[in-house]
Structure 1
């Protein structure tokens, strides 16, 4: 069942106090809260998350930030250590206050409904992250070829544009980590761009 299929009451039942069902979990903030059973912990990403999770997490963070700014906030950003993935990040959110669903939780449910309908919350942000990751991957993919060519300053831009025009599949997003051309694809671009081969 997706969030779209749930009533607010069912969502409250699912989320409020969800941290009590976590295995081997210790919550440092537990002693600070008088109404801990009304709070949920929601993780949005971890150390090895892909671009989609990171993009959506940034949108969720932006939408949740106004609820962190009161003297008694309904949202607290959290980062917890985890043996498998190093750390998991997200936020704790007060689901119920004085018997009423909080505005913060309503906003989160709206975001979750959007992701249930379409997985990308912000196309521009996600696209920008894909491009940035691909540029970083170009640098990594060319590490052995740098001994074969005298690469000019700004070579990444030239190669990205060449691949985009001549071999776009080489820079397609792979495994949600950006494009990663292989050495043969890079060599073809280098040669056509007339990058000078080193003796």
Structure 2
């Protein structure tokens, strides 16, 4: 596994070493010691989640507040997404900035999103299976989010607005407000 830094401190792309032969392929999707050695982080994942989505589904931008904040390791098993992480750590030099990357079943890249970030993704292919690990358990009372179409962030989701499908919850998320994240994490 190769760890690649992104412009956002603590946010990494993971590229696996792929072993292919006539039978197919094999790769190690996560190795705690390898990740710790390369990142300097000792992350203990406690929950795995999976989502199946169709083209145009947009999930996010979500985060967990306070002691319920979550780091995530996200990947696509089948299909393709544009994955987005927004730095909400008030003391960070990249506060308020976002990073996006294409994750797919084909490229097998993963994105590590540290605590203190909002996260979301747009599904770019039908029949996409998205999987992620969390280092803290989900808590409904600690939910937070930012509207996907926030004009300050101006994220290009690689979809036309007519293609986007949102949950009822995501439709009513608030717009980004830098002042409101001062004591969230």
TM-score category of the 2 structures, normalised to the smaller one: under 0.3
Larger relative contact order, structure 1 or 2 (CA cutoff 8 Å, min sep 6): 2
- Higher relative helix content: 1
Normalised by the size of structure 2, how large is the TM-score? 0.24
Larger Rg: 1
Normalised by the size of structure 1, how large is the TM-score? 0.23
